[in-house]
Amino acid sequence: MLKGFAFSCVACCTAECITCPIDVVKTRLQLSGELGAKKMYGGVFDAVKQISRKEGVRALWKGLSPALIRQMTYGSARYGSYEPIKKRLGVDSSGNCPLWKKILAGAISGTCSSAFAVPSDVLKVRMMADNTRDPNKRPKMAKIIRDIIKNDGIFGFYRGTIPAASRACVGAMSELAIYDDVKQGILKYVFIESTGSSIKVHVTAALVAGIVSCWCMNPFDVARSRLMNSSATEGKYNNMLDCFTKTAKSEGALALWKGFGPNYARIGPRVVIIFVVLEQLRDMFD
């Protein structure tokens, strides 16, 4: 079990370092045009261009420190606890179980794991959202921590907990269960001729799982970003449902899927990296 958590930690941190720039772009797009305000970016490529030109290329890795802290807790717990939870729910002699048990195992692992990650998630969103041009004037993590405590107290680190937990629950139950089911289906029906350790199988299953989980998570991801980037004293949103309602009313229902392109551009490769690294580590050390 400890190996599973360690493997998950390595896989998640590797994926985070590679996909951090896409996460920054996704966060900026989700906050752009908030509640009818003027849009800052025309799209993914415009966001990359503006961020790189105005803030420097290094700005695309804003928030990496809290993002890695988040992956060391949430990421390792989410992926590391899925298999043990699934086994506790019951598997047959071949290690297989019905889809509903996989979905339940994913929901439990995602929701419980998110409890550890909300403070680091708040810090990550605040750092990624900051568009200060001068690198020397950009707020460091310590300053953001002080500002949160000053404006909202300790509970400010848990702002956006409900959409974060909902996002984690929906994301894990779809991603982990779909990956598990698609992988077994490929091997069972031999759509790709391979053994269980083939990278082709892992990549195919991960890409399918990524697009399903990304579509399901996006509304919660938008609400999470907006709540975490705002202080309770600002009065923009009272809770997740209020954020959903105001966003849809001001910007249209499709605004809940803002940043879907870069979100999948991040989640697709990220899921592939995580599962491929995980499977390779299991083959090497298990």
Report how far apart the first and last C-alpha atoms of the chain are (Å, whole number). Answer: 11
What pLDDT does residue 233 have? Answer: 87
Kindly state the average pLDDT of the residues 142-159. 94
Residues 265/22, Cβ–Cβ less than 8 Å: yes
Residues 102/176, Cβ–Cβ less than 8 Å: yes
Kindly state the average pLDDT of the residues 151-160. 93
Mean pLDDT of the chain: 89
What pLDDT does residue 193 have? Answer: 53
DSSP per residue, the chain: -HHHHHHHHHHHHHHHHHHHHHHHHHHHHHHTTGGGPPPS-SSHHHHHHHHHHHH-GGGGGTTHHHHHHHIIIIIHHHHHHHHHHHHHH---TTS---HHHHHHHHHHHHHHHHHHHHHHHHHHHHHHH---SSGGGSPPHHHHHHHHHHHH-GGGGGTTHHHHHHHHHHHHHHHHHHHHHHHHHHHHHTSS---TT-HHHHHHHHHHHHHHHHHHHHHHHHHHHHHHTS-GGG-S-SSHHHHHHHHHHHH-GGGGGTTHHHHHHHHHHHHHHHHHHHHHHHHHH-
The residue among 109, 202, 203, 221 whose CA lies nearest residue 160 is 221
What pLDDT does residue 192 have? Answer: 53
**Architecture category of domain 2-285 in CATH:** Alpha/alpha barrel (1.50)
pLDDT: is 193 or 258 the higher one?
A: 258
Residues 5/75, Cβ–Cβ less than 8 Å: no
What pLDDT does residue 243 have? Answer: 96
What pLDDT does residue 202 have? Answer: 82
The residue among 272, 230, 265 whose CA lies nearest residue 247 is 230
The residue among 76, 73, 75, 82 whose CA lies nearest residue 119 is 73
pLDDT-derived band of residue 163, with 50, 70 and 90 as boundaries? Answer: very high
82-116 per-position pLDDT tens digit: 989 998 998 877 778 888 999 999 999 999 888 77
pLDDT: is 96 or 28 the higher one?
A: 28
Is the confidence at residue 169, as pLDDT, over 90?
A: yes
Q: Output the six-digit token pair for 4.
A: 């599973």
Cα–Cα distance, 205 to 200 (Å, whole number): 9
pLDDT > 90: what percent of the chain?
Answer: 57
Is the confidence at residue 286, as pLDDT, over 70?
A: no
Is the confidence at residue 194, as pLDDT, over 70?
A: no
pLDDT-derived band of residue 191, with 50, 70 and 90 as boundaries? Answer: low
What is the residue whose two structure tokens read 């390595």?
10
What pLDDT does residue 196 have? Answer: 47
What pLDDT does residue 195 have? Answer: 47
The residue among 253, 132, 268 whose CA lies nearest residue 203 is 268
